Amino acid sequence: MTGPNQTSPEQLPRINQRWFDGFAWYSRRYLARHFRAMRVLKSDAQRAGPDVPLVAYMNHASWWDPLVGLLIAKEFWPNRNHYGAMDREALESYKFFEKIGFFGVDRGTPRGAVQFLKMAQAITSSPAHALWMTPQGRFADARERPAELMAGLPQVLSRLTSGVVQPIAIEYVFWDERLPEVLVHLGTTREIASLSRDRHICQQELSQLLTTAQDELQVAAMQRNPELFETMIDGQQGMSSIYGWWRSLRLSWKRKPPASH
């Protein structure tokens, strides 16, 4: 039951599963064209299960983050409805985003903050849903420490009594190929009920969770070892494969016996 200032689950964007699956298919192909691979760090960290409300939050490293987040959502929580906020004016120009779970808010205004909190509360009222956020509120270098978060995420969580938060770290790095790698780490979840009710302390706790996930990913990224990761997308090979082909060709040519006359 909802009051006059609340949003009911029935007022959430109606996700069209065919559109969602189609956009995920497009996103996968698009990333495969522009990256060598998308890899998820192998880890013993506990990931959010399917039976509790989920709030997933990521560092905001680049323009690619929403596409990466969409593919993570589909890979690890395929049976949930996934939602995220978008500037209302932008959403009016690209209405199809409503069909894949985006809702409009008036960003940077008190009205927009109220809109977001109402929608967030409706989303997190059900374990069938997940709310996605980039609480840094800006593009930030993945090496920036600590991960400074805006107040919106603690405000959302202060209204919840159940569910989990899932920190997700993302980096875009170059290894040995012409194209870069998308590296992802799903950090350790935290029960929302275990977070401080003090919003300032809660903000620090959430920042530390994300910072820890970023640090763990950074250590793995520096090793340049694909074996540390599960490969979600295997994209285009770059120049190193061409160099390898050329070296193999030269070696095979040298091994040929001299022509007899």
Beta bridge partners of 171: 183
**Whole-prediction pTM:** 0.85
- State the total domains in the chain: 1
**243 within some domain:** yes
CB neighbours of 56 closer than 8 A, spacing ≥ 6? 48, 69, 72, 73, 130, 131, 132, 133, 165, 166, 168
Two tokens at 159? 């209204």
**57 within some domain:** yes
How many Å apart are CA 3 and CA 149, to the nearest integer?
A: 30
**70 within some domain:** yes
CATH number, domain containing residue 46: 3.40.1130
Q: What pLDDT does residue 140 have?
A: 86
**260 within some domain:** no
Cα–Cα separations (whole angstroms), residue 178 to 37, 242, 249? 11, 10, 21
At 67-115, the pLDDT tens digits run: 999 999 999 999 999 999 988 888 898 888 999 999 999 887 888 888 8
At 162-193, the pLDDT tens digits run: 889 999 999 999 999 999 999 999 999 999 99
Q: Are 141 and 164 in contact (CB under 8 A)?
A: no
- Helix 65-76 and helix 17-34: axis angle, to 10°? 120
**228 within some domain:** yes
Residue predicted with more confidence, 117 or 248: 117
Domain residues for 155? 9-255
| Residue 24 scores a pLDDT above 60 | yes
**173 within some domain:** yes
Q: What pLDDT does residue 159 have?
A: 81
For 220-230, give one letter per residue: b (16+ CB within 10 A) or e. Answer: bbeeeeeeebe
**4 within some domain:** no
**3 within some domain:** no
Beta bridge partners of 216: none
